[in-house]
Amino acid sequence: MVEATDPTLWRIELPHSTAAVPMARALVRTALTNIDAPADGDTAELLTAELVANAVEHTAGDGPIELVVEVLPGGCQVEVHDGRPARPGELIGPEPAEAPDPWQEHGRGLFLIRALSSACGHRPTARGKAVWFSLPALPAQRRPAH
């Protein structure tokens, strides 16, 4: 069930399966559509998909994943809550000592989040952790026409 009592705050529980990824992308797209100072929706969708995919892959499947999208005057913040309290790899740490193997499918998600967001991090929650990123609003000349 999507909760959006405030048009600037969206919250949904996602299934602990790969089906959560397109659902999360759709919610982010909906939340960032037709607002005065939108963030880059394509980047928000990409980074949200990475966070949700990581939550599905790296946490036990015994509970839902929660997605929270907050539209802010200066952009947006997206959080993904899961039941695993362990910190998420190299999200806020230094670059890994070795570059990801170009032949592997995994190993770039957290790098993308660090590289494309204006800020990112994680924090403990009562149920596990929240991993988040922020994006600034697009400059007026890059905003899509309505």
CATH code for position 41: 3.30.565.10
Residue 119 DSSP SS3: strand
Listed in sequence order, the residues at least 6 apart from 122 whose beta carbon sits closer than 8 Å to its beta carbon are 87, 88, 91, 92, 129, 130, 131, 132
Residue 22 DSSP SS3: helix
pLDDT of 128: 93
Does residue 81 lie within any of the structural domains? yes
Does residue 101 lie within any of the structural domains? no
Does residue 23 register a pLDDT over 60? yes
pLDDT of 116: 93
Does residue 74 lie within any of the structural domains? yes
Does residue 100 lie within any of the structural domains? no
pLDDT of 61: 75
% of the chain exceeding 90 in pLDDT: 49
Mean pLDDT of the chain: 83
More confident residue, 88 or 12: 12
Tokens of 11: 């919250």
Count: domains in the chain: 1
pLDDT of 138: 79
d(Cα 112, Cα 1) in Å, to the nearest integer?
A: 29
Residue-number span of the structural domain to which 84 is assigned: 2-95+106-142
